[in-house]
Amino acid sequence: MRGIYFLLTFISLTLGYSPSNVIQANDKNFHEIVTAPGKFTFVDFYADWCRHCKKLSPVIDQLSNLFVDYPEIQVVKINGDKDGKKMSKKYVEIGYPTLLMFDDSGKHVEFNGVRDIDAFSNFIQQLSGVRLDKSKQDEVGEVAQEEEENKDAVISLTPESFEQQLQNTQYAVVSLEGSWCTHCKEFAGVFDRLATTVYARNKNIVFATLTVDEQGHGDEILDRYGVKRIPALLFVKDGNLNDPVVYEGDLKRINKVIDLVNDFTGTLRDIQGGLKDGAGVIKQITESIAKANGNYKEILHQLDEVSGDTAPFYKSIVESLLTDPNAINVEYNRVKLVLDRDIDNLSGGTIDSLKQRLNVLNSLRL
């Protein structure tokens, strides 16, 4: 009976165990691992406090699985917070994560590209001369597609990539953080929620982070904008990095931060990501319609000079008013019915569009 118990226990542990192909190195065995004869070793230097490292970890695991049938390639992780402090101090010059490719002589090259499975696999193949077979290349494509679909809502910036990644953005909200900063870690959850929930539908707003490490790498960005305390927010419009708005005030209350982003972008979002009343309303057009006394043709000319998501809708309403004085109420009832009845079946973009129209109509009914 006892033997059966141990057998069942062994089977349970075997079924529940999922072996990792990543080698976990430490200060004692690192040199031996990376100088193993005939081996090329891709090393991820990480730290427990580094949220960018945590996001990268599953990608490194997938990378190791790609090369599991290629004994020349090793994928290694080493923890700069625990038993890899000595080696990390030696090899990490900029900050975490640091990604290096070693040959068996100990020579290494740093990876500085886009941190995705496709770029990593190409980097390894180019430096090692090893070529993945077609089935593995297809696997890379599938993983890359999944990565694109699940792309992080928050971009990780470095001082070197700072200008390039922000220069073509319409609106960018950058969280300036420090690796040692407790308040920054607390704010990270708030910032992620802004990107993934509150403003998830706003593709014209980029959310990014720049982390200054304990060695001071990144201080040049803080000095450039006169930032004295972190966490802080940097608001960049139309890629203009010469004159951003810097905010170093209260970041503990998410509603306060949402107000800041709303004011900066002109987007009226609530904490759930929905549009507030007033979103989409063009005040001067609403006032002109209220004063028109049935003379709407002049407003049509005025609308030709107005930009905004709801300008075409205003125009269609004004054109309807020329033939039907009750057009506003008719359209209001129709849009409200759709939102009330079908909201669970509508996409986020459609809900936003209908909510803006309802706001416009409601402003015209007052």
d(CA 351, CA 344): 10
**Would you call 181 a catalytic residue per the annotation?**
no
308 within 8 A of 296, measured Cβ to Cβ: no
Q: Show the 3-state SS of the chain.
A: CHHHHHHHHHHHHHHHCCCCCCEEECCCCHHHHHCCCCCEEEEEEECCCCHHHHHHHHHHHHHHHHCCCCCCEEEEEEECCCCCHHHHHHHCCCCCCEEEEECCCCCEEECCCCCCHHHHHHHHHHHHCCCCCHHHHHHHHHHHHHHHHCCCCEEEECCCCHHHHHCCCCEEEEEEEECCCHHHHHHHHHHHHHHHHHCCCCCCEEEEEEEECCCCCCHHHHHHCCCCCCCEEEEEECCCCCCCEEECCCCCCHHHHHHHHHHHHCCCECCCCCECCCCCCCHHHHHHHHCCCCCCHHHHHHHCCCCCCCHHHHHHHHHHHCCCCCHHHHHHHHHHHHHHHHHHHCCHHHHHHHHHHHHHHHHHHC
Q: Exactly one of 33, 43, 47, 53 is catalytic; which is it? A: 53
How far CA 294 is from CA of 164, 249, 298, in Å, comes to: 52, 49, 10
Q: Exactly one of 50, 166, 173, 327 is catalytic; which is it? A: 50
What are the residues whose beta carbons fall under 8 Å from the beta carbon of 243, sequence distance 6 or more?
A: none
**Would you call 184 a catalytic residue per the annotation?**
no
311-321 vs 327-342: helix axis angle to the nearest 10? 130
The residues carrying an active-site annotation are 50, 53
